[in-house]
Amino acid sequence: MTLKALFAATATAALLLSLPASAAQITVGFSQIGSESGWRAAETSVSKQEAAKRQVNFKIADAQQKQENQIKAIRSFIAQGVDAIFLAPVVASGWDAVLKEAKEAKIPVVLLDRDIDPSGKELYLTAVTSDSVHEGEVAGEWLAKTVGEKSCSVVELQGTVGASVATNRKKGFDGVVAKHANLKVVRSQTGDFTRAKGKEVMESFIKAENGGKSICAVYAHNDDMMVGAIQAMKEAGLKPGKDILTVSIDAVPDIFKAIAAGEANATVELTPNMAGPALDAIIAFKDKGTVPPKWIQTESKLYTAADDPQKIYESKKGLGY
């Protein structure tokens, strides 16, 4: 062995010794929904980075927005004998059978970003998510404060039907609207969390609402749909962010670009780093038997034009969005 190779081997050994005893030996399988949005792509990228920091062997299966693909991936991870499974569930129901199989195999499951129906609560170790009801509330409160007492007809771009995050973001926003008689959601339809569908649905809203002239604001369950909606507004000769207010959720780079250009107004941040806290929880569980809380909550922060959106855009581009 050369002197250079010896130094490299010594450095690697020192790094491994500095990690928790089991971290270097852990293999985690991650059943990811897909890459339907910039946020989802960032979550995947950041997850890989967080696993690499902890010397965890990380395997990702892209489900392309299909639950059946996620179930197949989980069964494959079980067959491989991984140490833990991370799941970002595309919908909230239909997980009991496969998660029971993981439990019988003594493989802990951690939910990332989204929750599942209460019937499955005993089948996973912990869930690392934001409070998506609260996200909807933050968006609604911003709109209520911004429009004041003015009458405001709102159109809503919902996320994927059956996804817990879409249900909860709607619930939170609707709860705020119910407290303000001047706010009314006049149209609500799924844009399936994608830019293309968000644009398509917004085009139909504009046609149905007097060329968009009767629309006061758009609320989108994610920024990607809003980016599509902004394009639809511009093509219809409207000025998004001025003629029609916008508020959405995720805080992906392109929405900050739109805010900086005056074409969007507000976004509520959903951190893409769900895997870091999840990996720490799994390592502590495997290492010391430490059982994490059932829910590890992430922060939901509101951003507007007052927050130097161009600077935030540039910083977020480095996260893998």
**Per-residue pLDDT reduced to its tens digit, 119-137:** 889 999 999 999 999 999 9
Give the CA distances from residue 294 to residues 14, 85, 92, 126, 133, in Å, rounded to whole numbers and listed in that order. 34, 16, 17, 4, 17
Shared-domain flag, residues 263 and 283: no
In a domain, 7, yes or no: no
Shared-domain flag, residues 81 and 164: no
Does residue 126 come out as left (phi exceeding 0), alpha (psi in the -120 to 50 range) or beta? beta
In a domain, 299, yes or no: no
Shared-domain flag, residues 257 and 120: no
Strands (E), 175-314: 183-190, 217-220, 245-250, 266-269, 295-297, 302-304
Shared-domain flag, residues 124 and 140: no
Per-residue pLDDT at 19 exceeds 50: no
Shared-domain flag, residues 167 and 315: yes
How many distinct structural domains can be found in the chain? 2
pLDDT single digits (tens) 260-291: 999 999 999 999 999 999 999 999 999 999 99
Question: Where in the sequence is the domain holding 103, given as residue range(s)?
Answer: 18-130+272-290
In a domain, 78, yes or no: yes
In a domain, 36, yes or no: yes
Q: Write the CATH number for 203.
A: 3.40.50.2300
Q: How confident is the model at residue 37 (pLDDT cuts 50, 70, 90)?
A: confident
Give the CA distances from residue 144 to residues 189, 235, 245, 271, in Å, rounded to whole numbers and listed in that order. 21, 27, 11, 24
In a domain, 5, yes or no: no
Shared-domain flag, residues 74 and 187: no
CA dihedral (148, 151, 153, 156) in degrees, to 10, reads 20
DSSP one-letter string for 96-154: HHHHHHHHHTT--EEEES----GGGGGGSSEEEE--HHHHHHHHHHHHHHHHTTS-EEE
pTM score, whole prediction: 0.79
In a domain, 4, yes or no: no
